[in-house]
């Protein structure tokens, strides 16, 4: 395929050279004439291990050349990839000037073209940017009727400086956001030698996945550093601790806990976080990341209370009381906190959780109920029909059998708020409003 790559910085150079190495014919377009001169002279304008040798090879084979002429690059290609930078502007906002200019210039170059042309956004942009900024700029340049012959897709890169050639060839996935399967198949054909999973999704989803990845990478760095600080304070080798931590592929380095839903609770996480933070304070450590976790968790509960109150209804049915479906553990359950919050707001609350059989509770669970929430027994329902008769609003806290039964029997009289963030499977799913 003939491909034009707009922007010849780190991402653009690596993308252009790697695509050319895979057998495509590539034209690099760049406003910086010095970068264009360097590439055409078989030299790399950026420092990246292995890139100078690869660039020299594909340029000498005639598979890659560079130009400052955007119209020339578009005319010589069947597909354009936008790889220009999106630096931070004031207050963290992205500076979209370069990407919008490139999109408009590509559109102008397409004015006289009648064949279908695909523009792939590889630059990192926030969700909605392609639809609200890049596509309008592209169509504005291309003129009336261009929407029928211009397709767009988002194809984020997952490359790290210093290992970008290897990351290009062995990505975690090939991710494409677009509106139709034909465009997805076209973008997939750009990477014939890549065996990583191919994922096609919506444009906004593809845009935000890159941000989710980078935010998580930043989170991991800060988390590791704060655990390292705690280890140093107690004369423990932090590298040894993290080596052992990483051996847990069931919970620590896994899909576990990485499902959007409600707040955490139970007998371990809140208690152990408080203990760790207390130990940090004793060692004069601030631990800014770890210190945000409990307040963030409390904010999630308050947000759920607010969502219920915003319905304007006062007869509430809560499905799921234990901190986790299938258990009877009420200790520090966020659902208990939610119920308490709703009662405090004057709501008439009923609760269904048949895993919590109050007469059978013993030990810490029994003491917790007796000491902290003795009135809960008067709120409990025996079955789905009872809670449905009472409730104007159904709050789904656990994705268990109780929730499925309630949702299957719910009707248009009920407002349903799903705190599990869509983890439920039910014939009544259309009734559900997911609480974000």
| Catalytic residue numbers, as ranges | 268
Longest dimension (CA), the chain: 82
Say which residue the tokens 């009544």 belong to: 428
- Give the relative orientation of helices 269-282 and 293-309 as an angle to the nearest 10 degrees: 140
- CA angle 389/393/397 to nearest 5° reads 105
Token duo for residue 436? 């974000």
* Eight-state DSSP code of residue 376: G
Q: How far apart are CA 13 and CA 360, in angstroms?
A: 66
Place of tokens 């990583």: 196
Q: How many CB atoms lie within 10 A of CB 244?
A: 10
Q: Are 265 and 338 in contact (CB under 8 A)?
A: no
Phi, psi angle pair for 290, to nearest 5°? -60, -30
Structure tokens at 104: 């408009």
CA distance 314 to 96: 46
16: left (phi over 0), alpha (psi -120 to 50) or beta: alpha
Structural contact between residues 418 and 433, judged by C-beta atoms closer than 8 angstroms: yes
The helix/strand/coil state of 70 is helix
Is 28 exposed, middle or buried (CB count within 10 Å of its CB: 0-12, 13-18, 19+)? buried
């Amino acid at each position: 395929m003939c491909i034009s790559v707009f922007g010849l910085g780190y991402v653009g150079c690596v993308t252009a050279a790697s695509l050319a190495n895979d057998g495509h014919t590539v034209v690099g377009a760049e406003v910086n004439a010095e970068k264009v001169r360097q590439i055409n002279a078989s030299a790399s304008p950026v420092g990246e291990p292995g890139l100078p040798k690869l660039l020299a090879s594909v340029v000498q084979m005639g598979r890659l050349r560079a130009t400052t002429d955007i119209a020339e690059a578009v005319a010589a290609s069947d597909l354009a990839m936008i790889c220009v930078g999106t630096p931070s502007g004031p207050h963290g906002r992205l500076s979209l000037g370069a990407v919008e200019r490139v999109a408009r210039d590509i559109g102008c170059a397409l004015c006289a073209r009648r064949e279908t042309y695909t523009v792939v956004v590889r630059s990192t942009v926030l969700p909605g940017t392609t639809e609200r900024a890049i596509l309008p700029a592209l169509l504005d340049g291309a003129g009336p009727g261009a929407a029928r012959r211009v397709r767009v897709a988002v194809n984020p890169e997952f490359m790290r400086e210093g290992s970008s050639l290897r990351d290009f060839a062995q990505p975690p996935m090939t991710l494409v956001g677009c509106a139709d399967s034909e465009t997805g198949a076209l973008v997939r054909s750009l990477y014939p030698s890549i065996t990583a999973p191919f994922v096609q999704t919506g444009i906004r989803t593809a845009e935000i996945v890159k941000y989710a990845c980078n935010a998580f990478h930043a989170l991991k760095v800060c988390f590791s550093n704060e655990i390292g600080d705690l280890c140093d304070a107690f004369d423990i080798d932090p590298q040894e601790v993290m080596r052992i931590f990483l051996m847990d592929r069931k919970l620590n380095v896994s899909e576990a806990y990485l499902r959007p839903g409600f707040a955490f609770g139970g007998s371990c996480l809140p208690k152990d976080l408080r203990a760790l933070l207390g130990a940090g304070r004793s060692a004069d450590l601030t631990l800014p990341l770890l210190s945000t976790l409990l307040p963030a968790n409390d904010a999630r509960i308050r947000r759920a209370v607010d969502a219920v109150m915003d319905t304007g209804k006062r007869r509430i049915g809560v499905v799921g009381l234990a901190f986790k479906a299938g258990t009877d553990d009420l200790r520090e359950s966020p659902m208990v906190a939610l119920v308490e919050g709703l009662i405090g707001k004057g709501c008439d609350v009923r609760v269904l959780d048949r895993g919590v059989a109050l007469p059978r509770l013993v030990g810490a669970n029994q003491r917790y109920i007796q000491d902290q929430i003795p009135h809960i027994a008067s709120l409990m329902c025996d079955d789905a029909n009872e809670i449905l008769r009472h409730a104007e609003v159904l709050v789904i806290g656990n994705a268990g059998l109780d929730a499925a039964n309630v949702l299957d029997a719910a009707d248009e009289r009920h407002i349903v708020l799903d705190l599990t963030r869509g983890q439920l499977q039910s014939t009544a799913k259309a009734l559900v409003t997911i609480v974000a």
